[in-house]
Structure 1
């Protein structure tokens, strides 16, 4: 007898066919992420797709409306219409902020124009100055020490627009002003920015700065970074300066480190299986 066999199919051909069938079956049983209805290969069902498109258009419209409102409110910011060297337009602003300096070589200060009503609404400190018979209220000039013109201008601009283009130095300057004049939203904004830039090299200086200006979020973040790297702490020049200038902060660092060690040990002891 002669046995005639069928030619064998390539294993790879069978594998490809099987994979195709399984994939097709999976697609048939997948569901829309929005409403869990079944769909084929589009990614979502028609109804949900149309609904998402409508929602997207509504959000775009809301964003456009908000931008228009911001542009309208910005119109009242004198800093959008005033530049250094140009006189303040009388009748539009009724107070000027001046960055005062103790240095004789600093030259005449450039005033930053503003509206009393705006300052009073943004800061309880400005409110106390301008509602009472203080010098600032009588003269229409508010002198602010230990601040650069650029930082003061950015501060006033934020009071009008809630916007600031920050770098690390400006964020520190604005945080100081925000604390001094109790502008809480600006202080939080600057704190979050500085925390995002925090690293080991800047941790000790940031910790001291945060402690000085009651910036709790920044202080906690810097302290956590320091206590995670205690083996490198004493090698930093900033640590030596801190020991000399403010040893109380050094004590607080070691107290925080010991507390973290105790909590870690207690957690290990309470873990199951130990």
Structure 2
């Protein structure tokens, strides 16, 4: 007769022939292992991102800087000059292929030591430069959108992925449509897919949205995409049901 044993994790009894641990603890351990693997992969990505810079963490203000960045549309008053964000050419060039090309070639930015960044706030620019040094950013939805735009423009892939993950974790039915449009505009595929999936799950509410009529008038292409994706999902669901073997 098979003996019973106690799981070392939860202390519940299980049959000795089911050697190892009980199923619940095994599944929980597997989920924990997968979560740790994801965290390790993320840390490896950060290390890889930072590996080219040999200096200390970002100081305030950083020492021995040789270039400044300016948010060209950031004016607190009409007479106030925008506040420059100092940085090191070597850091910018190692983080972004766009900055690298800009600073290697004798362009205006390379010669003057001033890089103007259009359509960005001072806070977003400062957060962007800080990320290039530290691979860290304090995000809310607006900041994540601003940094994703900068990450795409300057080809900082790790930051773009970081912002996409944050926005996906903050998706809701209320912001799904504007986030979908934003993600489409900036080639954020994971965010596009996540927003579209949420919209598909709430298609019966789409016509009830206050902005639906405006959406039809100004963004008919987007409405067509929603319905095409929804119909495709319905067809695939029906096909899968039809192919399920009977017991």
TM-score (norm 1): 0.69
- 1:138-170 CA distance string (max 9 Å, x none): 100000011110110000000000001111110
RCO comparison, higher one (Cα < 8 Å, 6+):
2
For 1:245 and 1:165, the matched residues in 2 are separated by: 34
Structure 2 distance, partners of 1:265, 1:81, is: 59
* Map of 1:217 onto structure 2: 190
Q: Give the deviation of 1:201 after TM superposition.
A: 0.5
Taking the aligned partners of 1:228 and 1:106, their CA distance within structure 2 comes to 50
Are 2:106 and 1:127 aligned?
A: no
SS at match of 2:86: strand
Structure 1 residue 254: Cα displacement: 1.0
Separation (CA, whole Å) in 1 of partners of 2:118 and 2:214: 26
For 1:107 and 1:237, locate their aligned partners in 2 and report how far apart those are by CA, in whole Å.
Answer: 40
> 2:60 corresponds to which residue?
81
Structure 1 equivalent of residue 200 of structure 2: 227
Give the C-alpha shift of residue 31 in structure 1: 6.6
The alignment's C-alpha RMSD in Å is 2.7
Distance verdict in 2 for CA 1:170–1:31, change over 3 Å:
closer
How far residue 74 of structure 1 moved from its aligned partner, in angstroms, is: 7.3
- Per the alignment, do residues 224 and 180 of structure 1 end up closer, same or farther by CA in structure 2, a change over 3 Å counting? same
CA distance in 2, matches of 1:257, 1:124: 39
CA distance in 2, matches of 1:200, 1:31: 42
Alignment partners' CA distance in 2, 1:230 and 1:165:
33
Q: What is the match of residue 149 of structure 1? A: 122
Please point out which of 64, 72, 77 is paired with 1:100.
72
Q: 1:102 to 1:75 in 2, by over 3 A?
A: closer
Secondary structure of the residue aligned to 1:237 is coil
Task: Supply the distance in 1 between the matched residues of 2:227 and 2:7 (Cα, whole angstroms).
Answer: 55
Q: Distance in 2 between matches of 1:151 and 1:179?
A: 14
Following superposition of structure 1 onto structure 2, how do residues 117-266 of structure 1 map, counting pairs within 5 Å?
117-266=90-239
What TM-score comes out, normalization by structure 2 length? 0.76
State whether residues 74 and 121 of structure 2, in contact with CA within 8 Å, keep that contact through their aligned partners in structure 1. no
Q: Tell me how many residue pairs correspond in the alignment.
A: 206
Gaps (5+ residues) in structure 1?
1-24, 39-65, 83-87
Is the 1:204–1:238 contact (alpha carbons within 8 Å) kept by the matching residues of 2?
Answer: no
1:106 positional shift: 7.3
Structure of greater Rg: 1
The CA distance in 1 between the partners of 2:202 and 2:89, in whole Å, is: 48
Structure 2: segments with no counterpart, 5+ residues: 10-15, 20-46
Q: What CA distance in whole angstroms lies between the structure 2 residues aligned with 1:109 and 1:239?
A: 39
1:237 and 1:74 mapped to 2: Cα distance? 52
After the TM superposition, which residues 21-32 of structure 1 pair with which residues of structure 2 at under 5 Å, given as runs?
26=4, 29-30=5-6
Q: Which has the higher helix share?
A: 1
Contact 1:94–1:114, Cα closer than 8 Å, also in 2: yes
Matches within 5 A, 1:31-110: 75-77=56-58, 80-82=59-61, 92-101=64-73, 105=78, 107-110=80-83
Partner Cα distance (2:196, 2:55) in 1: 39
